[in-house]
Structure 1
Amino acid sequence: MSVSEIEINQFESSVPNPKLQLSTTGKILIGVTGGVALGLTVICAPFVSPALRKFCLPYIPATNEQLSNILSALRGRKGTLLDLGSGDGRIVIEAAKNKFVSDGVELNPWLVLYSRFSALKNGLGSQTKFFRRDLWKYDVSKYDNIVIFGVEQMMADLEKKFLKECKPECNIIACRFPLPNLRPTRTVGHGIDTVWIYDIRDS
């Protein structure tokens, strides 16, 4: 091998291999992309998974008018309150501000954590509890007041659950859709913000 060939080989070996660089960069990009995708899946799954169940109960925050109507429906009531499908915890927190011992049941773990943080932030940690539970499996028998933001397809089954489990003096507040067979003692509001109040004693 001549001197010039040796010099050329030494020069080529000193130049970075673009294929090697691309391969390393590609692996890094794949790793980062995969990590982001996994993170988004973990965060989004609790919000998407309700659509895969028999009854889809999506997270839709209560409007200010709905919240006002619920508090109006609770006027003159006292004791314990349960929000089935409590979402961001607003109803539970507002009820606690009005002297109710309030619980929320929610399947989405991120919303449960957010609700607990909001309750602590409002100084209501001792008056509220949030449980990550399936509302169909949660025992509602100890509560004096129950709030539910349901969808039309689930109201008949909810009605059966209430009639089976609720104590006689329990007050049911249904939002967005009424219970199909029970007659409400009164209604508050109109349109999408309507709430229907039911007294189990009258059922």
Structure 2
Amino acid sequence: MGPWAWAAVALAASCFAMPVYLGAPYLPTLSRHREELLDLSGIERGQTVVDLGCGDGRFLRAAAARGVRGIGYEVNPVLWAVSKAVLWSRRDLVSVRFGDYRRHPLPEADLVYVFLRQERMAELAAKVAAEARGPVRLLSYCFTVPDRTACRSLPYAHLYCFGAERGHGHA
């Protein structure tokens, strides 16, 4: 392989390694779980979900199919481009932003969805609690928020309620 090929391999590897360092390796939400996660979240048509680390946009696409508005954040430029392309036909409902969600204030949302490593969950919960503009739910695929009780759970997901929640109780 020539030097340009090695440089391309190194660039691609760094695109996928950086999110691992930031706490969110690329592991797409399993297709068999997407609808159950949306059901667990209680998100309804016309509401907004923010997907922190949206990867290739699969979860946002499933939410948009239900009439849910979505905002995704992605730090991997390859996955950002893929999600932009995949979600192009749903651009009326969904936007994808390139960047680290930790460096931006959370947009107003009804639901925050994340597949984030365990060691980053307390930091995320603090951000949601500090920046939420009203009641918001945090849906975590796989990992738990330390020192907080989920208002609803599945064996592979946990829903946390911040603020007064309509019909979901709060922690």
TM-score by length of 1: 0.75
C-alpha separation between the residues in 2 aligned to 1:106 and 1:42?
17
Alignment match, 1:11: none
Larger radius of gyration: 1
The answer to whether residue 19 in structure 2 is matched with residue 57 in structure 1 is no
Q: 1:19-98 maps to which residues of 2 (within 5 A)?
A: 33-51=2-20, 53=21, 55-75=22-42, 77-78=44-45, 79-98=47-66
Alignment match, 1:196: 158
C-alpha separation between the residues in 1 aligned to 2:115 and 2:43?
21
Check conservation: 1:163, 1:200, Cα contact below 8 A.
yes
Say which structure is richer in helix. 1
Aligned alpha-carbon RMSD (Å)? 1.7
Q: Which runs of 5+ in 2 are unaligned?
A: 164-169
Check conservation: 2:129, 2:162, Cα contact below 8 A.
yes
How many percent of aligned residue pairs carry the same amino acid? 21
Alignment match, 2:166: none
Q: 2:91 is matched with which residue: 116, 125, 128?
A: 125
Describe the superposition over 1:167-198 as per-residue Cα deviations: whole angstroms up to 9, x where unpaired: 2311111111011122111112x2xxx21112
Q: Which runs of 5+ in 1 are unaligned?
A: 1-31
Describe the superposition over 1:70-112 as per-residue Cα deviations: whole angstroms up to 9, x where unpaired: 1112345341110001111101111111111101101001101
The answer to whether residue 80 in structure 2 is matched with residue 112 in structure 1 is yes
In structure 2, the residue corresponding to 1:136 is in which secondary structure?
helix
Letter in 2 for 1:34: P
